[in-house]
Structure 1
Amino acid sequence: MTTTNTEKTISPDQQPPKMPGALPLLGHMLEFGKNPFDYMMRLRNTLGEIGEFRMFHQKMVLMTGPEANEAFFRAPDAQLDQSQAYKIMTPIFGKGVVFDAPPHKKDQQLKMLMPVLRDKPMRGYAQVIVQEVEEMIANWGDTGEIDLLEFMKELTIYTSSHCLLGDEFRYELNEEFAKIYHDLEKGVNPLAFVFPYLPLPVFRRRDKARARLQELVTGIIAKRAQKTEKSEDAFQLLIDATYDDGSSLSAHEITGMLIGTIFAGHHTTAGTAAWTLLELARRPENMAQVLDELDTHFGVDGEVTFQSLREIPVLESVIKEVLRLHPPLIFLIRKVMQDFHFKDYTVKAGKYVCASPRVSHRIAEVFPDPEKFDPDRYSDARQEDAKPYSWIAFGGGKHKCSGNAFAMLQLKAIFSILLRRYTFELINEKDSYQDDFTQMVVQPLSPCRVRYVKRKNINEQAAESIAQPDGQESRQADYGFTIQIDKELCQGHATCMTEAPELFQVDDAGNLTVLQEQPQLDLLFKAQQAEKYCPTKAIKIKLN
């Protein structure tokens, strides 16, 4: 329960309350390391929405709940620095790349990758993902058993590399790239947060894999230079990209950014995909609802497209509920560069502040009965995630994961095929499937065995076209509307421009312009579609 101070005045420089029980040298590291989520829940229940604990010598401040999350995500980089907190990734991405780059350079590097995540290329990814799923299950037969997490890891590395990196990584370097990626992935070890260059075997393998990948990247760059036809993947974008001063990226920088692209598109998605199937297998009633929606919408062989994947709200709500209960990143970190104020408290420069999606998603005042798996939370009637910064599975603010739209597209495309072909059953007791908190990116404990069974008698009746809600036309006739843009949240995906080109323009640099201050009423539906599908929720449509 959140603590309050109603009988005394707190100084503006009041430090956040401290968690008791710190050990000499270790601080709270032993308790935190055992189960970070349990420890952070205990901290919130003891101290409220803000509280301090210690990991070795480092002072950490945990902030949870919508108001605390908003303060955390909206703080400027000069005050809360993301880069300083993620030096753990420097040996993997490389020195001078992304989190290790100066702020102005990091921003340019991230913008170079945005075109592959914008609306137009995204429309071609659905077919690629479908192809990968069909190939993976082509030899399954009528029934069998798999390690679900390992299957999803393999599938999502294929889908991500095929969509984002290009054919060389998907086909020519398939096995070697998989091994390299595995060694890099294992290098994301909690020890690296404090001691990233310890002479441990896991870190040696990480560094060897990083060097080998750069060799491969250099070779592919040379081969592509000989071709007359250019690819349209992230790799080619980086080869062609230049900084503001006109200089090109080095092979070292391209390698690091490609690694970052795949980490964002694979690392978290594999665990979420596995948990989606596990939660549905635990709950036949939810599984039946999803299957009914997919069968009705697609039939047996209905085409899976960018647009058709938008029209399966039951599955989307299931995925959102999985991400509420099992967010892959259970805490996000920033270093305090300038004193940071939240309500009556001041967090001094030099400390670290953390937000925790997993803890914030279990606050009963925001999500009633928070331990219950309940996809109806996101229905139009309830909208429990409507309060800003309450549901933060993809982060929030200007640092919200730019790949969130790709992640949702990937997950929905996978299940639109997989669940129409097979049903899934748990092999072990349902409560034995738990999160593995020993990993930096939380996934189900391995092994994670399930049984698949080929489906029969799939409903082939296609869904009728989705009509506009009753009364929409009359509301358009009665009211005007205005468009509000939160430019801090906009990342330049250009989805709004695709939905309503009459109202929105996004230039090549990702800058958004609203074309009409007082739009005509017949554009209201298009404006609402742009609001609905904006990946970062930067658009608000207000009826006058």
Structure 2
Amino acid sequence: MALTVSVMLFSLALVLITAVVAKITSGRIITDPVCALPAPPEVKGIALLRLLPTLFTEGPEATMHYLHNKLGSAFTVSFLWKKTTFLVGQEASAIFFQGLESEVTQGNLFEFTVPMFGTEVGFGVDYATRREHTRFIVESLKPSQLRSYVDPMLQEVENYFAKWEEEGVVDLKYEFKELLMLISGRCLVGKEVREKMFGQFCTLYHQIEEGLNFASFMFPYIPIPVNHRRDRARIKLRGILSEVVRSRKSLNHVKEDVLQRFIDATYKDGRGTTVEEVSALIITLIFAGKHSSAMTSTWTAACLLDHANSLDAALEEQRKIIGKYKDKIDYNILSEMGVLHSCIKEAARMHPAPPALVRQVKKHVTVRTKEGNEYGISRGHTLVHLVMLNGLLPHIYKDPEVYDPDRFRPIREEDKAAGKFSYTSFGAGRHACGGEAYAYMQIKIIFSHLLRNFELKLVSSFPKPDWTQFLPEPKGEVMVSYKRRRLPSD
């Protein structure tokens, strides 16, 4: 069945990335006159038009597969005034992940996030300040801090699933979104918001989230209703968080949550964070983690329930852990759930939450491909690392189209055997996801509880990616039947 017009918009956005934004903000395209190396194979004009039927009928992933197979690990798509070079594989992507800020940068590519989160964080501040904020996030989610989040996560998970009936049918995609928002409210924002004003908080947050759409991506400040709601919601939500921060500071209330970590954080010059910065950082962190965790959870459920052998292996692991620790769950016990970890990682390999990662070339760089070619990429180009293809390379992953969590288990460890940048579902290099460990932990807590307390069956068909969404997710509902039961130990 033909895909909607939104696919065309997504595809062109993937090809152009920020062509319109770059045109407006720079006023001209800078090219590098000194580039001795040949450029990558290029698709433009009539050749680009011939790809449109594939885009419409099969989507971006199939189109990128076609171009990769035809042109190799690095190729450029030219549209209007913009050149976008796509990179596939660890060799071609090395400059993408290891390049200095002076070579490849996120630049103003993500200007559309500024009206969502504010001018105090992210791409509303200079690179040095943004790096400091990244440090605050990483330090708030490091293992020593994660241990304190296990019990609150467990409480939220147990309370949420306690509301399910003895048996029924649910849309797990919806359920995971709701549950992960509750976990975020408890572990990131804190008890004040979670217990007293969470409904209002969620309503405002969703209005900000709705600001991420194709129109706002290309024109972040265009005066349309959804952007007006986004801007009003951001102001109100920041007000709620600011009151909580001021209250904690004035009453000297110290809590075990990420909000407190941000309040206590200090810059390298010794100054502390402001109320406005803390509020904006929390909104940014919830947005960065909630979508990817919800999508990874949904794909993990679909994959597990569609593959009996993997499901049985995950259940057997839970039986052994129950036999060893009874009902106790802590950080160390979660770390022993290697089979479940691999099941989640495999789902993220096949269905990464970000299908592509983007950078801007600031000065001439060199790309070396698996095929042995060496290309020069001029400044002004947009670089795109295709995460959606990187996890499907047959020279790294045996039978990459097959869901096989054992590929990440000891002895095989296909991603480690292949070397760095072979697994990029959570980013890599200078911009690796600082919340990866946090994401795995909360997803493992959710699935450990589900596997121990419910018999689950996938009743809808296995989902396909919904390329009509700005951030693709499983298409439609992911309907699962459940029946309460207590998993016995070995």
| TM-score, normalised via structure 1 length | 0.78
Choose which of 41, 46, 53 in structure 1 pairs with 2:70.
Answer: 46
* Aligned CA distance change for structure 1 residues 116 and 244 (closer, same or farther; 3 Å): closer
- Contact 1:325 1:358 (8 Å CA) reproduced: yes
How has the CA–CA distance of structure 1 residues 197 and 58 changed in structure 2, closer, same or farther, with 3 Å as cutoff?
Answer: farther
Does the Cα contact within 8 Å between 1:18 and 1:53 map onto a contact in 2?
A: yes
Structure 2 residue corresponding to 1:366, chosen from 393, 396, 401: 396
Q: How far apart, CA to CA, are the structure 2 residues paired with 1:36 and 1:60?
A: 15
Change (3 A) 1:359 1:21: farther
Task: Flag the structure with higher helix content.
Answer: 2
Structure 1 counterpart of 2:362, which letter? M
The 1:23–1:278 alpha-carbon spacing in structure 2 relative to 1, beyond 3 Å, is same
Matching of residue 226 in structure 1 with residue 250 in structure 2: yes
Measure how far apart 1:95 and its partner are.
1.9
Deviation at residue 349 of structure 1 after TM alignment: 0.8
- Equivalent position of 1:202 in the other structure: 226
Matched, 1:447 2:477: yes
Q: Indicate how the Cα distance of structure 1 residues 98 and 29 shifts in structure 2: closer, same or farther if over 3 A, else same.
A: farther
1:341-364 alpha-carbon deviations (Å, 9 max, x no partner): 113211111111010111111111
User: In 1, are the aligned partners of 2:106 and 2:358 still within 8 Å (CA)?
Assistant: yes
- 1:253 aligned to 266, 277, 287, which one? 277
Unaligned runs of 5+ in 2: 1-34, 369-373
Whether 1:126 aligns to 2:147 is: no
Q: Given the alignment of the two structures, is residue 321 of structure 1 paired with residue 330 of structure 2, yes or no?
A: no
The 5 A counterparts of 1:335-374 are 335-343=360-368, 344-374=374-404
| Deviations, residues 405-437 of structure 1 (Å, cap 9, x unaligned) | 11111111111111110121122233xx11112
Hey, what does 2:358 align to over in structure 1?
Answer: 333
Structure 2 residue corresponding to 1:395, chosen from 423, 427, 435: 427
Q: Distance in 2 between the 1:154 and 1:435 partners?
A: 20
Q: 1:211 to 1:76 in 2, by over 3 A?
A: same
Aligned equivalents of 1:329 and 1:147: distance in 2? 22
Equivalent residue, structure 2, for 1:167: 191
SS in 2 for 1:66: coil
Give the 3-state SS of the residue equivalent to 1:444 in structure 2: coil
Alpha-carbon distance in structure 2 between the residues aligned to 1:200 and 1:59: 29
Deviation, structure 1 residue 57: 4.0
* Residue matched to 2:410: 380
Q: CA deviation at 1:139?
A: 2.3
Q: Deviation per CA, 1:230-283, whole angstroms, max 9, x where unpaired?
A: 223222233333434454434432222111111222110001111111111111
Aligned-residue RMSD, C-alpha: 2.3
Report the Cα offset of residue 331 of structure 1: 0.2
Identify which of 289, 293, 296 aligns with 2:320.
Answer: 296
Distance in 1 separating the partners of 2:265 and 2:338: 37
How many Å separate the matches in 1 of 2:39 and 2:335? 46
> Is the partner of 1:68 in helix, strand or coil?
coil
The answer on 1:184 being equivalent to 2:199 is no
Partner of 2:178: 154
* Structure 2 Cα separation of the partners of residues 444 and 76 of structure 1: 35
Return the alpha-carbon distance in structure 1 between the equivalents of residues 270 and 467 of structure 2.
Answer: 44
Deviations 1:280-308 (A, max 9, x none): 11112211111111111124952111001
Cα 1:30/1:439, change in 2 over 3 Å: farther
User: Could you list the runs of 5+ residues in structure 1 that have no partner in the other structure?
Assistant: 1-10, 462-544
Looking at structure 1, the residues matched to 262 and 148 of structure 2 have their Cα atoms a distance apart, in angstroms, of 20
Bigger shift: 439-448 or 364-373?
439-448
> In structure 2, how many angstroms separate the alpha carbons of the residues matched to 1:93 and 1:336?
25
Q: How far, CA to CA, are the matches of 1:202 and 1:392 in structure 2?
A: 32
CA distance 1:61–1:152, shift in 2 (3 Å): same
Structure 1 residue 52: deviation in Å? 0.9
Q: Any idea what SS the aligned residue of 1:184 has?
A: helix
Match among 379, 388, 413 for residue 445 of structure 2: 413
Are residue 95 (structure 1) and residue 127 (structure 2) matched? no
Percent identity between the aligned chains? 31
Q: How many residues align?
A: 447
Aligned to 1:193: 217
Task: Provide the residue aligned with 2:163 in structure 1.
Answer: 139
- CA pair 210-55 structure 1, distance change in 2 beyond 3 A: farther
